[in-house]
Amino acid sequence: MRITTKGRYALRASITLARLGKNGEMISISNLSEAEDISPILLEQIFFKLKKAGLVKSVRGPGGGFAFNRPLDGITVREILDAAGEELTVFPCDRQEPICPREGHCTAHNVFLGVTKAANDYLESLTLKMVLENPEFNEVH
């Protein structure tokens, strides 16, 4: 599974939005950009996708910005990555389109599907609240 820069930025910015906007406060793109050292133009694109997916809401103008639409324990890491446009597969043959000439008679295919399922199940099991509150995720290495 290869998560692109856009996916990594979406997750980082979402975690920062969750930290800074604890009580549903609107957080501006410029604050998120500064906190994460990510281009505000790229963040606008990312948050447009998150808004389209229904994960965040926005308000324009002074005091505006972005906030989550749902409680943090109801938003998963996988939802954020999906909204950012990540294709969460580990191997090319995990995709739905038939691209492998060995499809249908490759024993390894089921192993690859299992790896993808395990990775996606893990990302689906992690909520933003868990990421913020679990010391395992907040230790600096």
Tell me how far the alpha carbon of residue 67 is from its chain's centroid: 15
According to the model, what pLDDT value does residue 69 have? 93
CA dist., res. 112 & res. 89, Å (int): 9
Residue type, 125: S
Q: Which two tokens stand for residue 93?
A: 């043959």
- The mean per-residue pLDDT over the stretch 38-62 comes to 94
Q: Give the chain's domain count.
A: 1
Please report how many Cα atoms fall inside a 13 Å half-sphere around the Cα of residue 72, on the Cβ side.
Answer: 18
Confidence of residue 23 (pLDDT cuts 50, 70, 90): confident
Supply the CATH number for residue 118's domain. Answer: 1.10.10.10
- The mean per-residue pLDDT over the stretch 50-64 comes to 91
Question: What is the DSSP pairing of strand 65-68 with strand 56-59?
Answer: antiparallel
Highest mean pLDDT (candidates 25-29, 88-92, 110-114): 25-29
- The mean per-residue pLDDT over the stretch 44-64 comes to 92
In contact, 115 and 91? CB cutoff 8 Å: yes
Which residue segment(s) compose the domain that 54 sits in?
5-138
Backbone angles phi, psi at 84, to 5 degrees: -75, -10
- The mean per-residue pLDDT over the stretch 6-12 comes to 94
